[in-house]
Amino acid sequence: MSGHLHGVAQTTRTDPSRVLEEIKRQTLEQLGGLPGTLYAPIEEALKAESLKGDGRNHQYEDQAALWVLRQQQASHVMAFRQQVGLGFEAFRAPASAVGGLGGSPLQLVGEQQLAFDLDGERLTESLEQRYLRPLEMLQGRLKMLSASIGSPTGINPFGPYRLVKAFISVYAETQVTESLRLRLFREYEHELARLLGDLYGRINNLLATAGYGVGLGAPGAPVRAAEERRERNTLDDVFDTVPHRESSTPMHDYNAAMGGYGGESHAAHGHPGGARAPNYGGHDPSQPVSQADVAAMANELAELRSQLHAWREGLVKSGGLPPAHMPQRSMAPRRELRVDEVVGMASLLQPEPPDAYARALAVSGRLGETIRDQLYDGARRLGFNPDQTCFSAEEDDAIDLVALLFDSLFRNHALQDRARRVYARLVMPYVKVALTDNEVFVKREHPARRLLDAITEACEGNDGETPQDRDLLERASSISQRIVSDYNEDLAVFELAHAELDALLAQHRRRIELQEQRAAKATYGRERLGAARGQADAAVRERIGEARLTQAVADFLATPWRHHMVQVLLRENEDPKRRAQALALGDALVMADRLAAENRGRELADQLLALQPIIVQCLASSGLDDSAAQHGMAGLVRALVTPDNERAEHPLPSSAEVEEDVAEERRLYLAAGTTSANHDPLLAERMRQLEPGDWLRLTNTQGETIAVKVAWSSPLTSRFLLVNRRGVRTLVASAEELATLASVGRLVVGAERTAFDEAMRQVRRHLDRVI
């Protein structure tokens, strides 16, 4: 059964009242429960902060206020649905819209209401910029709808302004703290960013199929579509999709940095897919695909095909295609091969060794040529003359998309050489999938798509060092062999294979989480040790400084006492009395040396007797037993009781050296002048808003790009721990250093959660750039 989609354009218009009611139903169905979804993530974030024990006083107040909100959850949901519904009534009859969302008489505004209004304005502006293109298209269709109703065009009832006003009307009168208010706005923005792209796509197609502005979004405007994608791609160069999650830091102007950097973040959040395929297939798999979904996917496929055709035409004109691969469908003697004939060729080639594809994957851009060469060979074996037949446009599209997809996977994911053969086996089965069911390129629940995601997760960055990693590689390899042997146009093979591999990956994900936690703890321990050493070095430099001391006292301060200070700061930093006592010992030794120099023997003796137990304790903390500590004490006393011992200035201790592995890590990613000295402040502010779970793409000094995740943010230095997909530490860097990396093009914020989505986004950007 073919999966090719075809859009249907209607020239007759459906009753506008029925259309508006359907839009209202879909809007309430998708957005009506939003207030009820905000509290759980905020509660989890507050619990995590309280477990961290970072000392913020507002946590308990936030938790108490959140508990009150949760008790009123049902009423909040009802009030929100009512306000959204009032927006539709105001659109239907703008002149009669009084109260509710339509405005209110002038009056004094309280501080909380003013704060809500200001945050609401910022959120509205952010959403309007983010969804600028779909909102412009929808506004044109709504204008036609209003004209059919016979009323002036009102405010878009499902636009950002109305949705934000509905949100404010629900919460403006509640008793919430400032930080909780910001959390509510942040979570509301996150939920809208997750839902609005799909909602606007559905409504746009609903209006189009109902006859309101049929030509506005038709796939027959590839030039404008390409221009829009190029705009998005330019803005995506630094910021891609970054889902908004709960931040542990209250941010009053949480969108200021995003809006201040040329609008990149707004554009990158334009819809959940950025420059890639929208999540038209992101619905519940148990629910049937609606007509709007089908139309949206058809439009998306048509747009993708127009890109491919323009790309191929460019290759032909530039001579980038070998003569045997030139499209020659216009020549009379050549017959276009039917899809079933090409599928038969692919089935013939499917069980054969994948060496040719493995070699092609090692060279970017060669896979498409290799696939065609192999298919031509299969055609000869089946009795077709390649000089008298050619591929149809749809068959060329399927071949090119599979080739570009696999090339993109290898360019943008850390796949080892061992994984190349796994993917090479899958090339021909995926060509068959693309020929018979092109929904694989736009539908996220497609079984073949999910299997490729799972295989990439198993292989990415996997060098087989541990038994678990080797088991993953072996399972991925065996599954690819099973696909080759069993796939015969039945997608159930992909479903079963994905279920098996995903069960193994679930255990692997838990190990990765533990690995991330260990990396975070190790990094935090290093930071605490470095901070303690820095404070101890500063204390030593302060006491040695320009003072003229005996060699014994200077050595004692630079070694045992410094080590003792580090131990106290690490183990007993919360005890100010112990810290003060340790600092006082250093001051007392400097004073004892001065008394000795002035030959004030009695005072010196009293001082040393008083210091003896503390000095012995200090020496013991360096690992000396009681007898060695007593011996060290005696040597110090001997040096001090001799007044004419030489005293001089002593060199200050150098700062602690950076561990070799950390130094290598920083050389690999922060070399060539990558410092925080000349960073963009706005870009750095955007980096500070990164949160655990955000994905980035990082390029090292050798030009290798890997996906990294923000695993942890240090409460001590505010630096970010970046780990790869195996949970292994990759880099620890400050927001300023990340901003500098982004400004030189070696860091891109935002990466897709799944490999297939990321690969398709890169394919689109590549096609746009080439076109």
> What per-residue confidence (pLDDT) applies to 316?
55
Task: Spell out the domain ranges in the chain.
Answer: 16-217+240-268, 328-490, 524-648, 660-758
**φ and ψ of 609, to 5 deg:** -60, -40
Q: DSSP states of 492-544 as a string?
A: HHHHHHHHHHHHHHHHHHHHHHHHHHHHHHHHHHHHHHHHHHHHHHHHHHHHH
How far is 120 from 171, CA to CA, in rounded Å?
A: 11
Burial of 296 per CB tally in 10 Å (0-12, 13-18, 19+): buried
Looking at residue 489, what DSSP letter applies?
Answer: S
CA quadruple 143, 145, 147, 152: dihedral positive or negative? negative
> What per-residue confidence (pLDDT) applies to 434?
92
- Residues of the chain with pLDDT below 50 are 1-11, 54-55, 97-104, 106, 214-288, 328-332
Q: What is the largest CA-CA distance in the chain?
A: 117
Burial of 456 per CB tally in 10 Å (0-12, 13-18, 19+): buried
Among the listed residues 32, 133, 170, the one whose alpha carbon sits nearest the alpha carbon of residue 88: 32
Looking at residue 284, what DSSP letter applies?
Answer: -
Q: Does the model's pTM come out above 0.85?
A: no
Query: Who contacts 195 (Cβ-Cβ below 8 Å, separation ≥6)?
Result: 30, 31
Q: DSSP states of 405-454 as a string?
A: HHHHHHHHS-B-HHHHHHHHHHHHHHHHHHHH-GGGGT-TT-HHHHHHHH
> What per-residue confidence (pLDDT) applies to 629?
73
Instruction: Compute how many other C-beta atoms are within 10 angstroms of the C-beta atom of residue 313.
Output: 12
**φ and ψ of 695, to 5 deg:** -105, 145
* Region class of 693: left (phi > 0), else alpha (psi between -120 and 50), else beta: left
Tokens found for residue 31? 């957005």
How far is 331 from 490, CA to CA, in rounded Å?
A: 35
Inter-residue contact 712 to 721 (CB < 8 Å)? yes
- The per-residue pLDDT for range 472-498, each reduced to its tens digit, is 889 999 999 999 999 988 888 999 999
